[in-house]
Amino acid sequence: MKGAVIFLTVLTLFACCSKKNDSPIVWKSIEKELQERLILAEDGETIELPEGHYMFTRTLSLDGKKRVTLRGKGMDKTILSWKNQTEGAQGLLISNGYNIKLEDFTIEDAKGDNLKVNDTNGIILRRIRSQWSGGPKTENGAYALYPVLCTRVLIEECVAMGSSDAGIYVGQSDTVVIRKNKAYWNVAGIEAENSKYVEIYNNEVYENTGGILVFDLPGLTRYGHSTKVYNNIIRDNNHPNFAQKGNIVATIPPGSGLMILATHDAEISYNEIHNNKTAGLAIVSYELVAALSEGQEDAPGAVAGVQTVNNNFRQDTLYNPYPYRIRILRNTFANKHWFPSLNNEVGKLLAWKSFLNPPDIVFDGITDPKREDPEICLGDNGKITFINLDAANNFKNLSKNPAPFECFKRNPYLDMKL
Amino acid sequence: MYRRALYILLLAAAGCSTKREEPVHITEEALPPPTGYLLPGREKLSEYGFFNGVLSRLQPADNVFPYELNAPLFSDYAFKKRFIYLPPGTAITYHPNDVFEFPEGTIIIKHFYYPADFRKPDENIRILETRLLVLEGGTWKALPYVWNNEQTEAFLEVAGHQTHVQWTHHNGTVRSVNYAVPNMNQCKNCHLRGDKIFPIGPLARQLNKTVNGKNQLLHLASLGILKNLPPLHQVPILPDYDDPTAPLDARARAWLEVNCAHCHRPDGPAKTSGLHLTADVIRPFELGIGKPPVAAGRGSGGLAYDIVPGHPEKSILYYRITSTDPGIMMPELGKKLVHEEGVALIRDWISSLK
């Protein structure tokens, strides 16, 4: 025992010291010069960021520019940190731009969002690492990479870590590609919210609370539809939820692989959805989210669960709270866990209704009364554990039989090989 | 023995994990200052010729007119002096509820200053910055000028500036702030509507005020520089939120309008939030009553709604205006200090709601 401890001590000291020998980080400030250049930049200009560690105290912003590129020397070489931020809610802010490109650097430790891009037509984020260096914490900013109200968005080969909301979050945007990224240790790995024409593929999304979320929420400037999620690895998204209570992602049960909420025209195919302990894939209406929140609302100082959900959603006449035309094709599911995460309502419900066998696919069974067929179809996903909660009827017709949702029986053309 | 070893082990492990928490030493250097760019305005404030004699006395030259607002934006307790330059022979056109229409070539001039002692507001004044809004080719641009310590000149600083200020407050206590002059992009944060910059203050309801015994709008009209002014009883008026004789609701809504609504309006930068705070908003949900946050992040403070009637302590809006943490606080810019009087007003207002 003694020997083991001493051995460990020596090992730890060694590991620690050998790391320290990598010469300490020298932080430099290029804040004023860089901000000046971003303000004065001419359309079409490329601004090179040198190798090194740079500390910023205020939001760095690029506004109203066309075809400007901001390029570092690589995500391990050019590091921009807002650890000492005293002003502004974002690290880097891009606004009102046209064809803006950010490449090859790291953004760290902003007080709010690390990178926000708004009202921009044409934005490319390529090989950007965006993270909170202390790992997952509630005090971290909300979003690592956050384009909102944008058109033509490409996010590729980026890394997002530590967000107290979503790592890669695209909101209220049109024509979006999110590919070949890594998202881990966030509350939500990748989230597309109220966005249309979105493709999410070849990403690796792991060890978040929820892997990939496709949400449509009420009360916003625009609504989403037409999303494809394919060829992604979505695994081990079982991290405890560390979101600030009051935000909708604080309601995500740990162990959620992929979640489709109140959107329509979505295709989920060829994903590897493994070891997400509560549910591999959930298809949920906003009615369920709102219903789960009821009763919690009046609890004094309630901070748990879904109390901040917008219960006025029925007043929003442009909003449809039901998912429809959702196709789930040729995904592979596996789950080594026996129990869902039990510290939330959904987890408890699933533990009860799908005992010792958390579902690969769960559907709340709440459908649009105006729509005869929700057109939710499952095809060729191998042997899956399925559960239709029939929550609309208080679980009366709860069913574990996926057959009514098998789409190849309903539409043979879907099975055609080209 | 091995207890001590364990201790060392723990210590070593702690040393590792906190490696990045060491105090950060920053050296200035790296990028050379940008050269060869076209400056967006004149290099020095004096070049515009707005003021006669000693620049810092701010004695207006011809075609430069002073004006005041009913309810000014809170900017870390800075005092402000406002002027407008109009090209000779031109005039402003009145609008009942939107920003007035200004002639090409207009320049709106706003100085930010601190008296050494707030109880003697005209003595020992230190001017920190002068912001210009210039109407050129039909579009406005915002230019920040930073004053030198000698108070002889102000220079265009597109990237803004930070400086330490100290003063004796109204109650005799010594206060200080690390004052921030915004950069040109930050100017847009507040002045943007749609994709264009607009002035915020010069509204009928803000200028409808008695100054030196005369109604300011009537005075401007009598000088021939304000057209289409209707009879005064038709002109709206925004109360001074500091005026204790005005109704609580009107004072609170005035405070929210001037401090929040430049972003929180349907065509402002905070439109994504769905929270609209201009003084004419009627729908309670738009005002934040019972409205959950959209993308507040940790700004929500674990609270469910923007405003919970009767409960400021449960209202996100109140939580955020009382914070000075850049990731939480509202407004996001131009604030290092909490506006204590404003916060008290909003607390009373939310408490009064049912």
Residue B29 has pLDDT above 60, yes or no: no
Q: In whole angstroms, how far apart are CA A147 and each of A74, A141, A193, B17, B185? A: 21, 15, 11, 32, 18
Question: What ipTM score was computed for the predicted complex, to two decimals?
Answer: 0.75
Q: Three-state DSSP class for A68?
A: coil
Q: Which of B12, B274, B298 sits opposite A164 (nearest CB)?
A: B298
Residue B15 has pLDDT above 50, yes or no: no
A13 touching B, CB under 8 A?
yes
Query: Residue A415: its pLDDT value, please?
Result: 57
* Antiparallel, parallel or unpaired: β B79-85 and B64-67: antiparallel
Tell me the mean pLDDT in the region B92-119.
96
* Antiparallel, parallel or unpaired: β B79-85 and B59-60: unpaired
Helix, strand, coil % over all residues of chain A, rounded to 5? 15, 40, 45
- Write out chain A residues lying below 8 Å of B289, CB-based: none
**A:269-298 residues touching chain B, CB 8 A cutoff:** 297
Confidence of residue A340 (pLDDT cuts 50, 70, 90): confident
Confidence of residue A75 (pLDDT cuts 50, 70, 90): very high
Largest CA distance in chain A: 72
Q: Which residue has the higher pLDDT, A342 or A408?
A: A342
Closest-approach residue (CA) in chain B for A97 = B195
| Token pair belonging to B262 | 């430049």
Of A400-414, B232-246, B332-346, the poorest mean pLDDT is in A400-414
Rounded to the nearest integer, the mean pLDDT of chain A is: 87
Q: Which of B20, B272, B293 sits opposite A149 (nearest CB)?
A: B272
Residue B96 has pLDDT above 70, yes or no: yes
- Write out chain A residues lying below 8 Å of B192, CB-based: 96
* Antiparallel, parallel or unpaired: β B79-85 and B107-115: antiparallel
A42 touching B, CB under 8 A?
yes
Residue A19 has pLDDT above 60, yes or no: no
**CA dist., res. A83 & res. B326, Å (int):** 12
Residue A293 has pLDDT above 50, yes or no: yes
Residue B233: alpha-carbon gap to chain centroid: 29
**Preceding amide of A412 cis, omega within 30:** no
Tell me the mean pLDDT in the region A148-170.
97
Q: Which of B34, B285, B303 sits opposite A33 (nearest CB)?
A: B34
Confidence of residue B17 (pLDDT cuts 50, 70, 90): very low
Through-space distance between the first and last CA atoms of chain A, rounded to whole angstroms: 64
A64 touching B, CB under 8 A?
yes
Percent of chain A's residues with pLDDT above 70: 87
Contact, B85 vs B115, CB < 8 A? no
3-state secondary structure chain B: CHHHHHHHHHHHHHHHHCHHHCCCCEEECCCCCCCCCCCCCCCEHHHHCCEECCHHHCEECCCEEEECCCCCCCCCCCEEEEEEECCCCCCEECCCCCECECCCCCEEEEEEEEECECCCCCCCEEEEEEEEEEEECCEEEEEEEEECCCCCCEEECCCCEEEEEEEECCCCCEEEEEEEECCHHHHHHHHEECCEECCCCCEHHHHCCEECCEEHHHHHHHCCCEECCCCHHHCCCCCCCCCCCCCHHHHHHHHHHHHHCCCCCCCCCCHHHCCCCCCCCCCCCCCCECCCCCCCHHHHCCCCECECCCCHHHEHHHHHHCCCCCCCCCCCCCCCCCCHHHHHHHHHHHHHCC
Q: Which of A28, A93, A149 sits opposite B26 (nearest CB)?
A: A28
Query: Residue A258: its pLDDT value, please?
Result: 98
| Token pair belonging to A10 | 């020596």
Task: Give domain limits for chain B.
Answer: 45-234, 248-352
Tell me the mean pLDDT in the region A225-250.
92
Residue A25 has pLDDT above 70, yes or no: yes
Query: Residue B176: its pLDDT value, please?
Result: 95
Q: Which residue has the higher pLDDT, B217 or A6?
A: B217
Confidence of residue B293 (pLDDT cuts 50, 70, 90): confident
Return the amino acid letter for A112: G
Confidence of residue B239 (pLDDT cuts 50, 70, 90): very high
Tell me the mean pLDDT in the region B168-195.
91
Residue A42: alpha-carbon gap to chain centroid: 34
* Predicted confidence (pLDDT) per residue in B59-70, tens digit: 999 999 999 999
Ramachandran assignment for B16, one of left (phi > 0), alpha (psi -120 to 50 degrees), beta (any other): alpha
Confidence of residue A407 (pLDDT cuts 50, 70, 90): confident
Query: Residue A354: its pLDDT value, please?
Result: 77
Query: Residue A4: its pLDDT value, please?
Result: 54
Q: Mark yes or no for CB contact B159/A39 under 8 Å.
A: yes
Tally A–B CB contacts below 8 A. Answer: 213
Confidence of residue A60 (pLDDT cuts 50, 70, 90): very high
Q: B1-8: long-range contacts (C-beta < 8 A, 24 or more apart)?
A: B1/A2, B2/A1, B2/A2, B2/A5, B2/A6, B5/A2, B5/A5, B5/A6, B5/A9, B6/A5, B6/A9, B8/A9, B8/A13
CA distance A262 to chain B (A): 16
- Write out chain B residues lying below 8 Å of A110, CB-based: 327
Query: Residue A308: its pLDDT value, please?
Result: 43
* Predicted confidence (pLDDT) per residue in B210-220, tens digit: 999 999 999 99
Q: Three-state DSSP class for A93?
A: strand
Alpha-carbon Rg for chain B, nearest whole angstrom, is 23
Count of CB atoms situated within 10 Å of the CB of A131: 23
CA distance A364 to chain B (A): 24
Residue A280 has pLDDT above 50, yes or no: yes
Contact, A106 vs A129, CB < 8 A? yes
Q: B98-105: long-range contacts (C-beta < 8 A, 24 or more apart)?
A: B98/B203, B99/B198, B99/B199, B99/B200, B99/B202, B99/B203, B100/B202, B100/B203, B100/B204, B100/B226, B102/B135, B102/B199, B102/B202, B103/B135, B104/B135, B104/B136, B104/B137, B104/B138, B105/B135, B105/B136
Tell me the mean pLDDT in the region A210-226.
91
Residue B88 has pLDDT above 80, yes or no: yes
Query: Residue B1: its pLDDT value, please?
Result: 45
Count of CB atoms situated within 10 Å of the CB of A357: 16
Query: Residue B11: its pLDDT value, please?
Result: 47
Q: Three-state DSSP class for A288?
A: helix
Closest-approach residue (CA) in chain A for B158 = A36
Residue A219 has pLDDT above 80, yes or no: no
Of A212-226, B33-47, B298-312, the poorest mean pLDDT is in B33-47
Query: Residue B14: its pLDDT value, please?
Result: 46
Q: In A305-348, which ranges are E strands?
A: 324-329, 332-334
Of A14-18, A89-93, B167-171, B199-203, the poorest mean pLDDT is in A14-18
Confidence of residue A100 (pLDDT cuts 50, 70, 90): very high
Residue A223 is classified by DSSP as -
Residue with tokens 């490409």: A154
A118 touching B, CB under 8 A?
yes
Residue A345 has pLDDT above 80, yes or no: no
Which helix (H) or strand (E) is A408 found in, with range? Answer: helix A407-410
Residue A362: alpha-carbon gap to chain centroid: 19
Q: Which of B25, B37, B303 sits opposite A40 (nearest CB)?
A: B37
Rounded to the nearest integer, the mean pLDDT of chain B is: 90
Residue B110 has pLDDT above 80, yes or no: yes
**CA dist., res. A235 & res. A133, Å (int):** 22
